[in-house]
Amino acid sequence: MSRLIDIKSLDLDELNEFILSMNEKKFRSSQIYTWLHQKGVHSFLEMTNLSKELINKLSETCSIVKVEQLDCLSSKEDGTKKFLFELEDDQVVESVLMSYKYGNSVCISSQVGCKMGCKFCASTIGGLVRNLKPSEMLEQIYAIEKFSGEKISNIVVMGTGEPFDNYDNLMKFIKIINSKEGRNIGQRNITVSTCGIVPRIYDFADANTDVNLAISLHAAGDDVREKLMSIVHQFTYEELMASCKYYTKTTNRRITFEYSLVKGINDSKDDAYLLTRKLKGLLCHVNLIPMNNVEGRPFEKSDEETIKNFKRILESKKITTTIRRALGQEVDAACGQLRRSYTNKSNNESKRT
Ligand code: SAH
């Protein structure tokens, strides 16, 4: 990796400090920040309001991270677009653009691969390769905005990777994308999804932002959760619930629990009633996700009727519940599936040659 400073990963305070350390005037940092985060340029030469001298200094010491679009698949059914981006070290990540009535939402990846080991998830199959830098998370959004010509109003960090396993870079990313001098995307329009890394849930609560928290729960207790997720070996259900209570008390914000329904594993009436007891009194909302089949994984999605019944039971106990629209099925939009099919394809091709 290059030893140059990754200037797009600096927040405005850090950029100020850097610019002052070069004996330049402070207002230069706002100019540079605007070029990077609002105008999206990828060369210092394009920063036409800077002096030649400063452009030269920046070119010698800094790099402007860029992602290269490899592919874009559009779903004919619902217009969802899935993007594959190549990073500077040839790694590949995926992002998704979804259009809703309220605006356009982008789902970004936070890591290359993932080490969390959820047994139904395609992202975890090859393990973790590396964390994404703040600049690489930002670039997924900037590149989609540029390519599609659509304004992005919402962000979900629910693509490949575990955002709370890359916590500092995630928080820096949020700070930059939320900044007035950057894209100014409101904290309430950003959602971070975690498989439940308990110490980071406490940190996130203490950070006291308006960013939404989603937790991949997928079960009402450790025994069923263990069939689906390896994270139970690090943090028990009770520990997870205690951190959730702390979060809602500290922030007064609702948690979204994601619950992927898997046939015969976590979708019985008993599972639903147990879940209502576990979530009793907690400021929350449940989002039911029909399991997306992943090649080589033994899990099947629950029947539609079962899903509706599950929802009815939760609602009978006053838990607000939604069923996630299955967007982008034909474009492998479930977590990690497109990257996986791409890496499989290139592996097969290189095997053939
Ligand atoms: N690591 C984070 C975010 C990435 S996954 C997390 O675990 O929350 C985003 C959501 O999609 C999670 O709820 C995850 O459990 C779910 N998911 C992943 N693969 C899936 C699949 N094949 N079918 C249904 N849901 C899936």
Residue burial 63-76, b: 16+ Cβ < 10 Å; e: rest: bbbbbeeeebbebe
- Per-residue pLDDT, averaged over 192-221, amounts to 97
Q: Where are the domains of the chain?
A: 5-63, 68-349
pLDDT digits over 266-280, tens only? 999 999 999 999 999
Query: Is 148's pLDDT higher than 60?
Result: yes
Of the pLDDT bands very low, low, confident and very high (cuts 50, 70, 90), residue 335 is: low
Report which of residues 294 and 167 the model is more confident about: 167
Report pLDDT for 297. Answer: 82
pLDDT at 23 over 80: yes
Q: Kindly state if the Cβ of 256 falls inside 6 Å of ligand 1.
A: no
pLDDT at 294: 79
Torsion of CA 121, 124, 130, 135, to 10 degrees: -10
Q: Are 342 and 71 in contact (CB under 8 A)?
A: yes
Q: What is the pLDDT of residue 326?
A: 63
Ligand 1 pocket member 262 (CB < 6 A): no
Count, in order, helices (H) and strands (E) of the chain. Answer: 11, 14
Higher pLDDT, 339 or 85: 85
Q: What is the DSSP secondary structure assignment for residue 98, as one 8-state letter?
A: E
Paired tokens of 297: 């994984």
Tell me the CATH number of domain 68-349, given options 1.10.3470.10, 3.20.20.70, 3.30.930.10, 1.20.210.10.
Answer: 3.20.20.70
3-class secondary structure, 74 = strand
| Cβ(162) – ligand 1 distance below 6 Å | yes
Closest to 257 measured CA to CA, from 228, 278, 286: 286
Digit-coded pLDDT (tens) for 126-145 = 899 999 999 999 999 999 99
Instruction: Determine which residue's CA is closest to atom 21 belonging to ligand 1.
Output: 292
Ligand 1 centre distance from Cα of residue 290 (Å)? 11
Annotation marks residue 94 as catalytic: yes
**Which atom of ligand 1 lies at the shortest distance from residue 294's CA?**
22
Ligand 1 close to Cβ of residue 231 (< 6 A) = no
Task: Report the nearest-CA residue for atom 3 of ligand 1.
Answer: 158
CA distances from 147 to 87, 167, 352 (A): 17, 28, 33
Residue 295: the pLDDT is: 79
pLDDT at position 101 is 86
Name the band, by pLDDT with cuts 50, 70 and 90, for residue 352.
Answer: very low
Our mutation pick for probing the ligand 1 site, out of 119, 289, 302, 341, counting the most ligand atoms within 8 A of Cβ, is 289
**Residue 213 pLDDT greater than 50, yes or no:** yes
Q: List, for residues 155-181, the tens digit of each pLDDT value.
A: 999 999 999 999 999 999 999 999 999
With a cut of 80, say whether residue 202 has pLDDT above it.
yes
Ligand 1 and 109: CB distance under 6 A: no
What are the Cα distances from residue 342, in Å, to 70, 109, 291, 338, 347? Answer: 10, 15, 21, 6, 9
Mean pLDDT value of segment 306-315: 97
Say if ligand 1 is within 6 A of residue 18 CB: no
Mean predicted lDDT score pLDDT of the chain = 93
- Tell which atom from ligand 1 comes closest to the C-alpha of 161: 1
266 in ligand 1 pocket by Cβ < 6 Å?
Answer: no
What does the block give as tokens for 205? 């609560």
Ligand 1 centre to CA of 335 (Å) is 6
Rounded to the nearest whole angstrom, what is the distance from the C-alpha of residue 166 to the centroid of ligand 1?
A: 16
The answer on pLDDT for 349 being more than 80 is: no
341 pLDDT tier (thresholds 50, 70, 90): low
Domain 5-63 has CATH 2.40.50.140: no
Give the mean model confidence (pLDDT) for residues 230-252.
98
286 lines ligand 1 (CB under 6 A): no
Q: Which residue has the higher pLDDT, 336 or 6?
A: 6
The pair of three-digit structure tokens given for residue 212, joined into one six-digit string: 């939404």
- Model pLDDT, residue 353: 30
In the residue annotation, 62 being an active-site residue is answered as no
pLDDT at site 304: 94
Q: Is the pLDDT of residue 13 over 80?
A: yes
Residue 351: pLDDT over 50: no
Same fold? 5-63, 68-349: no
Percent of the chain with pLDDT over 70: 92
Instruction: Point out the ligand 1 atom lying closest to the alpha carbon of residue 118.
Output: 15
pLDDT score, position 116: 97
